[in-house]
Amino acid sequence: MDAIQSIKAAAGHLTPEIVLLLGGSLVMSASVFGRSGERHDVHSQRSSFAAASLICLMLAMLCSFWRGVPQLAPDDFGLFRFDATALASERLSFLGGLILILMSWSTAPKGRLAEYYGSLLIILAAIPIVGASNDLVSLFLGLELVSIPTYVLLGIVKADNVGMEAALKYFMLSAFASCFFLLGASYLYGFCGSTNLMVIQAGFGEGKRLMALGLLLAMCGLAFRITAVPFHFYAPDVFDGTSVTLAGAMSYLPKVAGFVALIRLVGSGTLNQGATGVIIPVLLACAALTMCIGNVLAVAQNNLRRMMAYSSVAHTGYLLLALVALIRQDASANVLFSYLAAYAAMTLGLFACLGEIEAAGGKSHLVGDLAGMFYRRPAASIGLTVSLISLIGLPLTAGFWAKFMVFVGVVSDRRVDSISLVMGVLMAFNAVIAAGYYWRVLSTLYSKSASNVPLRVFRPSLFVAYTICTVLTILWFFVPASM
């Protein structure tokens, strides 16, 4: 009876995710019926599938609102743990889902609309499942529920050789990363005799090198999803080989899933001295390499997609520093979640602006393609300007508070050791490097160009998407607590 009650309680707390899973499955199954009849108007099909997906997302948000903040007993050791991390991952998924559905309204592949929106809804359901996981089994299933629909999306968005190459690279490397995670999970289970994450975290102790090895292997599997060095090689090829909208999704959704999984795996200040002595140096080294390599390689890019891919790598480095501060209890999990929220607004906003430029007949593949774009597409250029300023981390944008809170968390180490100061200086130095290539894109928007023909084609959904992102980016600077 207790098991049945536990299942009912978990199902009640996971109602928003169940709504998204059922909605995604129903939308995807519509492809079977959609191809049996005569081909209908493409625009009406786009609107129908996008509206259905948006309704599913709204229903999930309403279920989350009615459910309120989940409360479970502190000694609950089930498959799921509904706490602040679970709630934050759910809200981050809803935020990204709303923007991505609006972006997809005009850009989704016309021949595979059902598969596209169905896969997207399933990914949005999987991220909160990862965030609520309290067991290696549910954690792995949630991560795979993110990965498998992503393979589908990459395979159907672009059917040319470049698109197929990007899909194949992501599939092969993702499977390789899953093997790392499962190998680490097998070590953790073999040593602790349990797959429960709370039991595993409590089982760490001095001299338990096998457990540390298992934890490091599992973290290697998650490093692929967050594009951390040296598991970042796929990012520029995948970003360059897919659509603008899906490039935005790839920059955000796997990163959220990876970081909430890392929080579940290493805890928030729950590891003892023996475990942190192994994990923190690895995370600091990975953060330093990820920041430096991401920014240095981004500087050398003229391809805008590849530049944003390496920019995504660099932001992973900043987020890893926030994770270290969380483990040391020098910062709360809200610092990391606030950064992810700001990152969603500024990065998805940037890709939405690029999507509108392309939908209106312009080009945005190379940095030079944006020359004089302010005179051709003023609204999208203003949205790009706000996003780029926020990515730099300048005041009046959410990016300023996001980077500032991470910096404070890094340098406010209670031991005030030299490593913390070095990492703080390195973060500031990388922010200056990043400002250089962001500024290059920004200045190109307002430069003179031989072609000043206005781009007059209007895509309302893309306009609404980057308007939401722009408003949030500015609003969160004045009300950072709402991030």
DSSP string, 257-324: HHHHHHHHHH-SS-S-HHHHHHHHHHHHHHHHHHHHHHHHHHHT--BHHHHHHHHHHHHHHHHHHHHH
Per-residue pLDDT of 249-291, as tens digits, reads 999 999 999 999 999 988 765 666 666 777 888 899 999 999 9
Give the per-residue pLDDT at 9. Answer: 72
Three-state SS at 196: strand
Strands (E), 330-377: none
Give the per-residue pLDDT at 213. Answer: 85
Category of 73 on φ-ψ map: left (φ > 0), alpha (ψ -120 to 50) or beta: beta
Give the per-residue pLDDT at 332. Answer: 79
Give the per-residue pLDDT at 303. Answer: 93
Give the per-residue pLDDT at 211. Answer: 80
Give the per-residue pLDDT at 206. Answer: 52
Give the per-residue pLDDT at 38. Answer: 46
What DSSP line would sit under 17-47, residue for residue?
HHHHHHHHHHHHHHHHHHTTS----HHHHHH
CA neighbor of 317 nearest in space, from 346, 288, 342? 288
Q: Is the pTM of this model over 0.95?
A: no
Counting beta carbons within 10 angstroms of the beta carbon of residue 189, is it exposed (0 to 12), middle (13 to 18) or buried (19 or more)? middle
Amino acid at 258: G
Q: Cα–Cα distance between 121 and 19 in angstroms, integer?
A: 10
Give the per-residue pLDDT at 202. Answer: 78
Give the per-residue pLDDT at 422. Answer: 87
Helix crossing, 161-192 with 136-157: angle to 10°? 180
- Stretches in the chain below the pLDDT threshold 70: 1-7, 33-41, 68-77, 205-208, 268-275, 330, 413-417, 450-451
Strand partners, 303: 366
